Amino acid sequence: MKFSASKENHLKAIFHLQHEQGIVTTNALAAALQTRPASVTDMLKKLKEQKLLIYERYKGFRLNNEGKKAAIQVIRKHRLWEYFLVKKLQFGWDEVHEIAEELEHISSKKLVDRLDAFLGFPDTDPHGDPIPDSQGRFLQRRQISLSELPLNKVVQVSAIASQTTEMLELLQHKNIRLGTRLEVRKKFPFDNSLEVKIRNRPPVTLSAQVAKNVLVKDDE
């Protein structure tokens, strides 16, 4: 349950990348961490060994549930310390990142929770990013339209904006309902239609009109 600073940095970076990209590549991670692809590969092996990520060589990788949990704890620490630095120690919001990069590796869970309470359980950091709570839940998982979703990010259908019979019938036919996990695989600029992938099913195409009315939120 306790990881080295370097491992925590990798977990955090992977988490952010997969949040945007769905799957993470060695080069992307190396760039994010300002290190070399070979070093990333070395670390991936260790993280896989510790069952923190899903990884097959040459095929990209992503955190599993354990890995996500660990990454979120690091993000929580980082953002709480940033909040502390700005709100209590009068730092500018633009000068706290580096210091928080160090503070985020302090391991005491009790310290983090006490700090959280001391700060009044803030829910966003000085940059406007949400601070996960003690259980690792981001309070604000705001929903967005499927049409704004970046490619390859897995999300869950959280609401249908236009509840017309025709819309619901269409979705029923394509087997999409509340809670369905999916991701956008392709966007066609010609008509703004999307190709959507649902696990274990062949790709499905949705029109711009439909996509606009399907609201989704972060998975898990």
Q: Which residues bind DNA (CB under 7 A)?
A: 4, 6-7, 25-28, 35-46, 55, 57-60
Q: For a copy of itself, which residue of 14, 74, 85, 176 counts as binding (CB under 8 A)? A: 85
For residues 99-138, which are near a copy of itself according to CB under 8 A?
Answer: 99, 102-103, 106-108, 111, 114-115, 118
Q: How far is the CB of 90 from a copy of itself (least distance, A)?
A: 7
Q: How far is the CB of 162 from DNA (least distance, A)?
A: 36
What is the Cα Rg of the chain in Å?
A: 20
Tell me what percent of the chain is helix, strand and coil, each rounded to the nearest 5.
45, 20, 40
Q: Which is nearer to DNA, 38 or 89 (CB)?
A: 38
Helix (H) or strand (E) holding 51: none
Q: Is 90 in the site for a copy of itself (CB under 8 A)?
A: yes
DSSP 147: G
Distances in Å between the Cα of 171 and the Cα atoms of 15, 58, 144, 192 are 31, 36, 18, 18
Q: How far is the CB of 53 from DNA (least distance, A)?
A: 11
194 binds, among a copy of itself, DNA, none (CB under 5 to 8 A by kind): none
Q: Is 88 in the site for a copy of itself (CB under 8 A)?
A: yes
**Beta-carbon contacts of residue 183 (< 8 Å; ≥ 6 apart):** 22, 149, 151, 152, 153, 154, 155, 196, 197
Q: Which is nearer to a copy of itself, 36 or 88 (CB)?
A: 88
Task: Measure the CA–CA gap between 163 and 196, rounded to whole angstroms.
Answer: 20
Amino acid making up residue 103 = L
Q: How far is the CB of 136 from a copy of itself (least distance, A)?
A: 21
Separation of CA 199 from chain center: 19
Q: Which is nearer to DNA, 58 or 190 (CB)?
A: 58
Phi then psi for residue 77, to 5 deg, are -60, -45
Size of residue set near a copy of itself by CB under 8 A: 16
CB 220 within 8 A of CB 68: yes
Residue 179: CB atoms within 10 Å: 8
Q: Which is nearer to DNA, 106 or 139 (CB)?
A: 106
Q: How far is the CB of 111 from a copy of itself (least distance, A)?
A: 5
**Contact positions toward a copy of itself, by CB under 8 A?**
85, 88-91, 98-99, 102-103, 106-108, 111, 114-115, 118
